[in-house]
Amino acid sequence: MKNKKIVWVIAIIVILGGAFYIYNQKQDNGPKIEEQLKGIDKEAVAFENEKNESKQFKELEKLIKESDEYKKGTETNKKVIKRYDDSIYQARKLLKDKNETTFEESKITNLSKASTRNITMKVNSLKVLSKRLEIQDVIVYDKKELNNFKSKVTTLKKSYDKQLNKSDSESDQKSESAATKVNEQPDQTMDFSKIKQGDYTSLLGNWKEVATSANHHDGAGDKWSVGGTHQLTVSKNQISDGFMKFSGEHITANDQTGSVAFKEEGGVLTTNSSVGATAYNLSFYPKGIEMTESDWGPDVPTVIDNSKDRFIIRSSGSNYVQVFERINSSSIDEQNTSGRSNDISEMNTKQIQEGDYSSIKGEWKNGRGKKISVTTDIMKFTDITGVNQGGSVEGLKIDIPEMNLPDGTPKLTTYGFSDVKVKSYDQQLKVSESKGGLSMASRIPGSVEYVSFLPKGTMGDLQEGNRNQDKIIAVMTQNNATSVQKSEVYYRVD
């Protein structure tokens, strides 16, 4: 009996000792687990914020590899495993949604009435999507899901190829007719042979955007609009609209580059290329060559002058088309010696990006009655975010009081599927230049706070507004920094 009691005492001591050991282990691992969770969340945020598609995919591969290695380890934690699984699921979903959007935007409602160039553009978009699927493969999809998606992409592409083949003979006849017209023009100025070599001397001069077309996904298909705000700049070695740059055999956009393939047909030089997830087509129309209904649809605006040289940019997504006309020509010598009065603006973006606001001092007001008061080194906004939150910018630091703690530092907040708290905004602004303008950016969970400056003569991504005045835009958005309604644009009032 005495021995049994001793055994029970020993057993209780062992159990209590084991429990105490496990408890201590959990206490010791607590901070380590929190660090692991923070690391996973940091990678998930980096994935969402990455704009470069290939880098984004590598972030996902890295996350999956780390997850697999962790699960094979001897010390694992259910919370960490779940965080890995949730992050990977969300990352895969984001990529799948992007692919699905590309596929939907590649559809043509009435294929029999679609122009050849429109169908070709959609085919290029599907080629980009197919290439993307080959890269993503089972990292993003399971095999059945991937095969089903590939199948519907292939089916759609075959229907487009069939339609293109059907119209080949008709296109050949038109090409011969158009080529004859080209030969009849002794004053054709676009030198296709030099353009293919990356020499744009024959394109020098001033260009004006006269029309745009886009599919707004409202069931109405591609719709033309007269006019435009983008500026086309042409030098001997480069063509740019402020977003896309074409030089030699390459197109660069959004920090990604794609090679181009040239095709000369019907007196028109075209290029096809894929830049990341976007397909680009550039078309060079010499004066006298008509933009036909079969290529551009039945409602091409009459404002487009076929007696002038035209340069057309077409990008996938919303099937966005920009038509530029050359309004006068110039030689390199003329460009180098001519005055630069059109580039001179009262708003000095070089000073602004250094935190000097002396060139924009005064009162500014937008169409919604919001105001900005500017001195040499500080800007005060009655609404800096566009959602009725006041704030200020001093030097290159932003302050939004409603998003601060009592000590003036940004509040901490949760974001997305993570329960880890992050700063409500970054106080240090990052400066970037685009389309002739300047933007200051503060990262906010899920979006970005922008303060942008557009000197007179520039419009950024604005569709409406006064080109001849300096402009300021302050908005919190997931879109482009200057893609806002005209009522949100600030103009100087004194």
Same domain, 318 and 375: no
d(CA 161, CA 59): 35
* CATH number, domain containing residue 259: 2.40.128
The total of other beta-carbon atoms located within 10 Å of residue 43's CB is 18
Same domain, 142 and 76: no
Q: Would residue 179 count as lying in a domain? A: no
pLDDT value of residue 429: 92
Predicted confidence (pLDDT) per residue in 438-458, tens digit:
999 998 887 889 999 999 888
Q: Would residue 174 count as lying in a domain? A: no
d(CA 32, CA 130): 42
Alpha helices in 280-419 (DSSP H): 293-296, 332-337, 349-352
pLDDT value of residue 39: 86
- Where the chain has pLDDT below 70, the residues are 1-30, 51-52, 117, 167-188, 216-219, 317-318, 329-345, 415-419
Q: Would residue 220 count as lying in a domain? A: yes
Same domain, 290 and 364: no
pLDDT value of residue 13: 62
Same domain, 22 and 126: no
Same domain, 210 and 224: yes
Helix, coil or strand: residue 430: strand
pLDDT value of residue 344: 37
Q: What is the count of structural domains for the chain? A: 4
Same domain, 56 and 158: no
Q: Are strands 268-275 and 278-285 parallel, antiparallel or unpaired?
A: antiparallel
Structure tokens at 374: 């500017």
pLDDT value of residue 370: 93
Predicted confidence (pLDDT) per residue in 348-406, tens digit:
988 898 888 999 999 999 988 999 999 988 999 999 988 888 999 998 999 999 999 98
Same domain, 387 and 429: yes
Q: Would residue 409 count as lying in a domain? A: yes
Same domain, 392 and 448: yes
Question: Side chain identity at 22, as an amino acid letter?
Answer: I
Same domain, 212 and 95: no
Same domain, 80 and 159: no
The total of other beta-carbon atoms located within 10 Å of residue 231's CB is 19
Same domain, 132 and 46: no
Last residue of a domain, one of 106, 124, 142: 106
pLDDT value of residue 121: 72
CB 247 within 8 A of CB 259: no
- Residue 240 CB contacts under 8 Å (≥ 6 apart), including other chains: 232, 233, 246
pLDDT value of residue 44: 83
pLDDT value of residue 363: 93
pLDDT value of residue 221: 72
Residue 443 pairs in a beta bridge with 448
Residue 371 pairs in a beta bridge with 365
pLDDT value of residue 184: 42
User: Whole domain around residue 248: which residue ranges?
Assistant: 192-327
Same domain, 437 and 465: yes
